[in-house]
Amino acid sequence: MPADDHRSPDPARDEAARLVGEVADRAEAAAERTDRPPLGRAARAAIDDARGHLDAASRSAGAGTEIPSEARLRQLKQAALVGMRPVTSYQVPFNRDVLAALDRVVTVVEDLASRAEGFDDGLDNQVHRLQAALATLDLQVGDLDADAHDVAGTVDSLVEAVEAIRREQATHGRALAELRSRVDATLRATREAAAAAAAGPGRTTTASADRAAEDAGRPSVTGRPVDPALVRRLADGGRPLELAEWAEVLLPVVEAAAALGPVLDLESGRGEWLGAWVAAGLDATGADDDPEHRAELTDRGLDVVPAAPLAALVQAAAAAPPADRGSADATGHGGNRLGAVTAAVLADVIELDELVAVVDAAREALAPGGALVLASASPRGRRRGDVQWVDPRRRPVDARLLTALALDRGFAEADVIDLGGDTGRSGGGKPRAHALVARVAGGA
């Protein structure tokens, strides 16, 4: 509110304003009384002493030119003094000049001393600021330390939570794979039952039997399905005795991949490859949906799960955490993922769409750097009477098809290894075969 010059006189207000000033002045005076002199005690004493001497000297500056009025024989002394005036007349201005000069020196010294004090104060202020900063910093360091602990705790909690989610996901994945297996089995059984019902009592059929007939160029002219037991017997007949030898050729590849994780051998059959991997000390498991094969393998002490190739791979992928895909852990090990997927008789006895699905599932199940190893009969042996072609399911699969397929489905490398065999045109001799070795990206 601006001052109102026309405001009516208010004695209480005026008195209050006066007393505010008086109280403040007295407070200021009281504070000044307790004020320390601007200089240090010793410096102040020296300056004061110097000024005292100058005051005393100034009172005697005219000494030698005047005779005090109360002096005895003043007249005589005065006369003598007058006689000496040519000499003493210079003394007084000299004395005064010296005093003035000394006074200036004292003033300068005092000023310098004050400046020195001020410098000390300034230094003190800097020290204060530094100390305040340090005091604050001191506690902030503690705070940051505490924050770091909190963050570390939070990260630990998050890691635990992620691990729990992974475990839960793996459980769900396994359950899903089992469910798929059951659904597949149910559908297969339903199809077979339906086919059996259509064919009459005592007959069963399978899609592979039909396909075998087609592959052989002999369509099922009877319209009746082929007996699956017959197909199995024929397939067994076409199973080359050299599978164990091929395993020896492939062992270095599988052994290297097994360093990244366990080996899963698909359609283990009589266990030629599975047995070779286990005999080499590898952590290997077989998968086969034929109970007779499983019983035989189990009797030999081999570990085998009841699953068709695709189901076995889906189950294996689900058991491994998603974060493991495409990245090895610090040890170079791929966590729960597979080091190698092998199959001695698979690539050329299943339909192309199933083969594609198997290759995809293997890629998901393999650890970084892991290998897919699929053997296949060489088409060139077909005309030569290669025993492998007794298997009615067998299809000619070119080696280039296998490599092209693996690279197309996301494998980083794909090679074909010749597994040997006779090359002559005459019948008999060792069956001729090759194997796809495909690796997913990553690894050492």
Residue numbers of the site for another protein (CB under 8 A)?
Answer: 1-3, 11-13, 15-17, 19-24, 26-28, 30-31, 34-36, 121, 125, 128-129, 131-132, 134-139, 141-143, 145-147, 149-150
Rg (Cα) of the chain, in Å, rounded?
55
d(CA 395, CA 389): 8
Q: How near is the Cβ of 7 to another protein at its closest, in Å?
A: 10
In the complex, minimum distance from the CB of residue 168 to another protein, in angstroms, rounded to a whole number: 23
**Residue 366 backbone dihedrals phi, psi, to 5 degrees:** -80, 145
98 or 139, CB closer to another protein?
A: 139
Give CA angle at 169 (167, 175), nearest 5°: 105
Minimum Å gap between C-beta 151 and another protein is: 10
Closer residue to another protein (CB): 104 or 128: 128
125: Cα within 13 Å, side-chain hemisphere: 6
* Closer CB to another protein, 153 or 219, in the complex: 153
Nearest to 241 by CA among 435, 379, 430: 430
Comparison of 10 and 329: residue with beta carbon closer to another protein? 10
By beta-carbon proximity to another protein, the closer residue of 150 and 163 is 150
Contact 330, 312 (CB under 8 A): no
Distance of closest approach, residue 402 Cβ to another protein, in angstroms: 51
Collapse the DSSP code of 145 into the 3-class scheme (helix H, G, I; strand E, B; otherwise coil) and give the result. helix
Torsion on CA atoms 390, 395, 396, 398, rounded to nearest 10: -130
Residue 107 Cβ, how far from another protein at the closest point, in Å? 25
Nearer to another protein, 113 or 355 (CB): 113
Strands 338-343 and 263-266: parallel
3-state SS class at 263: strand
| Closest CB 34 distance from another protein, rounded Å | 6
What lies within 8 Å, CB to CB, of 150 at 6+ separation is none
